[in-house]
Structure 1
Amino acid sequence: MDYTKTLLLIVSIISSLLLSINAVPTTRSVIPSYGASSPTASRAGSLIGLSTIFKNAQAKATQVIRVNPKLISFCKNTENPTLCAETINPYFQGQFNPIVALETEIKATLNQSLKVSNIIAQSLDHPSKESVSALKICKSRYKNIVHTIKEALKLLNQQNVVDAYYKFSTVMEDRSSCENAITESSCENPFAEESLIVYQLGGNCMAILDGIINNNLRF
């Protein structure tokens, strides 16, 4: 009998202790296990995730730091300064050269125009009745745009920035002509976003050329 009472007393004490432990509030954050089979594995998984996030954030911060101040100044008065810096910065090497930077932006405009030309060609494979005429106009205009940009690059290589500026003025006019044709046809523009980038890159080139011509860009 005494033995039974003693055993019940021990069980009662242990139960009380367990209840008191579970009742203690905690201020620690609850970290999901992510399917880990043990607390150690869960912690390791969490640390790996945090490490990856930190490295990615650090890499992005490093990219921002590496943008040359002269490039920021070079792009600040363009149509889209952020796009200007993003397109030139990956090719930036050594001492800053405004002509080389401009050439890079012109080539970016050329590549984007070729992209639009390809979309137009694909759209003409199965066009709607309403869009045929507009797409044909755009095909012609972008053919001119590609040719004119190539001419502007040649002029830039000859240090003829004045005529290169006027070439880009023609590029912007041809692009607007295409956009107007699409608008008048009331059909959906299959390259609206791509064309906007052409406008922004072309505007960047014109602003840079204007700055060089009028000595507003000093390095």
Structure 2
Amino acid sequence: MLEVAKLRCERDDRVLFSNLSIQLSPGELLQIEGCNGAGKTTLLRVLAGLSGDYRGQVIWRGQKLSRVYADFRLSTFYFGHKPAVKTELTPVENILWRSSLRNESYSEQSVFSALEHVNLAGYEDIPCGQLSAGQHRRVALADLSLSTTPLWILDEPFTAIDVDGVAWLEQRLAQHISEGGAVVMTSHQSLSKLSDRVRKLRLEAFSAVDEETGHEESEAWL
């Protein structure tokens, strides 16, 4: 589904990762780990097509990402540190608006149910400008839970949700990959329900280490 070949990225004259190669197939979840500043968010933005500041290739379904970007965007859900939430819209309106950009359509009842799962019941019709940053992230999580896009790229999705929310999101991730979807995510969360489906990539300063092979810099095929 998604392939990265010999990826190299620098930021402020510092190499974040070099010669990084990844292959992600349907039904797989890749969990990216590393200390702050290792380049996790930068890597996700490259994979999501939001940053072109790199060397190497990003390939979507056998073709260079730049050639099929429109199809890629419709096939991908990106969840970043700053969720794309319009402050003048309510949570329900935001989800319906966001889903329309992906050519997806949800019933209002399903949207209300998703918001309840992320502890936003009672906030459905309140403008998001009156909600906190954490609540904005939960609006985006509710949208994610409804999405049928095949590829999810998620940056610390477990932030700002409680224990029950963590269990619910983990179950939704399990369902997504069991249905043939794929996930790339950063998280410090231990995914107990997905332990047999998770592959891990650890980013370190000037290298990328695959926990299965132990290879550094020269290759990190997953």
TM range (shorter): under 0.3
Q: Going by fraction, where is helix more abundant, 1 or 2? A: 1
Larger radius of gyration: 1
TM-score for both structures, normalised by structure 2: 0.25
Identify the structure with the greater strand proportion: 2
Q: Which has the higher contact order (CA 8 A, sep 6+)?
A: 2
